C-alpha cells in the first residue's frame, strides 16, 4: 500500500499544540459561562423569594388595613364617640409631653449657623400625630437659612426639615432676612430630661 502525501498542499500541523491552546481557552470560557449561569439561576431564585415575601407583606398590610377600618368604624359609632375624643385628647397630651424645650433648644444651638438666631418656635401635632415645630429665624443672608435646614437634616433631633417661607426685611443690618422653617421633632429618650 502506497500513500502519496503532498506536503505543499497539506502542511504538517501539530494538533496537540492546537488543542492545548484552544482547549484551554474554551475551558476558561466554559467555566465563565457556568459561573454566569449559576449567578443567573441564583438571582432568579432570590427574585422569586423576594416576590413571595412581598406578596405575604401585602396580604398582611391588607389584613391590617381591614382591621383598622373595622376599628375606626367602631370608634365612629355614636355610643363610642365620647371615648374616642377622650383618647385622642390624651394621646395629644402625651405627645406634647414628649416635647422638651431644653432638648429642642440645645439641638438648635448645635446646628444654628453664625449670624442667624431664633425669633420664635411653636410645637404642634400634625395630622399623623407626629410632633412638628414651626419656627422663625432671622439673619443677614439667605444662605444662612439654607445652611440651617441642611444642618437640621443631618441632626438626630429633626427630620423632614423645609423652608416654608422667606421674607426680605427692608431694614439694613443683621436681621434683613427672615425664614419660616417647618420640621418634625424627634425626641430623644433621656431619663433625666427637663421639660
pLDDT of residue 191: 43
Tell me the per-residue pLDDT of 16-29, one tens digit each, with 9 for 90 and over.
777 777 888 888 99
Reading across the β-sheet that carries 177-185, which strands appear in turn?
A: 116-125, 131-139, 177-185, 158-168
**Whole-number mean pLDDT of the chain?**
81
Q: For position 24, what pLDDT does the model report?
A: 85
b/e sequence 145-170, b meaning 16+ C-beta within 10 Å: bebbbebbeebebbeebeeeeeeeee
Alpha helices in 76-114 (DSSP H): 81-97, 101-111
**135, 120 Cβ separation under 8 angstroms:** yes
Residue 169 within any structural domain of the chain = yes
Same domain, 130 and 71: no
- pTM flag (> 0.75): no
- Mark whether 55 and 109 lie in a shared domain: no
Whether residue 33 is contained in a domain is answered as yes
Closest alpha carbon to 138 in 182, 180, 109, 183 = 180
Residues 121 and 153 in one domain: yes
The mean pLDDT value for 105-120 works out to 83
Q: Is the pLDDT of residue 118 over 70?
A: yes
Whether 107 and 180 map to the same domain: the answer is yes
Together in a domain, 21 and 58: yes
Q: Are residues 59 and 114 in the same domain?
A: no
Q: What is the pLDDT of residues 52-87, one digit of tens each?
A: 999 999 999 999 999 999 988 888 888 888 888 888
pLDDT at 76: 83
179 part of a folded domain: yes
For 100, the 3-state DSSP assignment is coil
CATH number at residue 118: 3.30.70.60
Can you count the helices (H) and strands (E) in the chain? 4, 4
The structural domain count of the chain equals 2
> Domain residues for 19?
12-76
159 is a domain residue: yes
Q: Indicate if 68 and 127 belong to the same structural domain.
A: no
- Same domain assignment for residues 115 and 173: yes
Give me the residue label for grid cell 376599628.
71
Percent of the chain with pLDDT over 70: 82
pLDDT at 124 over 50: yes
Q: Identify the pLDDT of residue 93.
A: 77
Residues 35 and 105 in one domain: no
- Is the Cβ–Cβ distance between 106 and 195 less than 8 Å? no
pLDDT at site 33: 96
Q: What is the mean pLDDT of residues 167-183?
A: 77
User: Which three cell numbers mark 21?
Assistant: 491552546
Please state, for a pLDDT cut of 90, what percent of the chain lies above it.
22
**Burial of residue 9, with CB atoms counted within 10 A of its CB: 0-12 exposed, 13-18 middle, 19 or more buried:** exposed
The pLDDT tens digits of the residues spanning 129-156 come to 677 888 888 888 888 888 888 888 888 8
Amino acid at each position: 500500500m502506497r500513500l502519496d502525501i503532498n506536503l505543499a498542499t497539506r502542511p504538517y500541523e501539530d494538533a496537540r499544540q492546537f488543542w492545548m491552546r484552544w482547549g484551554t481557552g474554551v475551558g476558561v470560557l466554559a467555566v465563565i459561562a457556568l459561573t454566569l449561569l449559576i449567578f443567573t439561576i441564583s438571582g432568579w431564585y432570590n427574585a422569586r423569594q423576594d416576590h413571595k415575601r412581598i406578596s405575604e407583606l401585602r396580604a398582611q398590610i391588607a389584613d391590617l388595613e381591614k382591621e383598622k377600618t373595622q376599628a375606626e368604624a367602631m370608634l365612629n359609632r355614636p355610643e363610642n364617640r365620647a371615648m374616642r375624643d377622650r383618647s385622642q385628647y390624651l394621646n395629644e397630651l402625651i405627645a406634647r409631653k414628649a416635647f422638651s424645650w431644653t432638648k429642642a433648644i440645645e439641638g438648635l444651638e448645635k446646628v444654628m449657623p453664625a449670624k442667624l438666631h431664633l425669633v420664635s418656635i411653636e410645637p404642634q401635632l400634625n395630622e399623623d400625630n407626629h410632633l412638628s415645630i414651626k419656627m422663625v429665624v432671622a439673619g443677614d443672608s439667605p444662605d444662612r437659612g439654607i445652611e440651617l435646614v441642611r444642618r437640621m437634616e443631618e441632626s438626630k433631633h429633626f427630620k423632614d426639615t423645609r423652608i416654608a417661607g422667606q421674607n426680605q426685611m427692608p431694614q439694613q443690618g443683621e436681621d434683613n432676612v427672615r425664614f419660616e422653617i417647618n420640621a418634625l421633632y424627634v425626641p430623644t429618650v433621656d431619663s433625666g430630661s427637663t421639660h
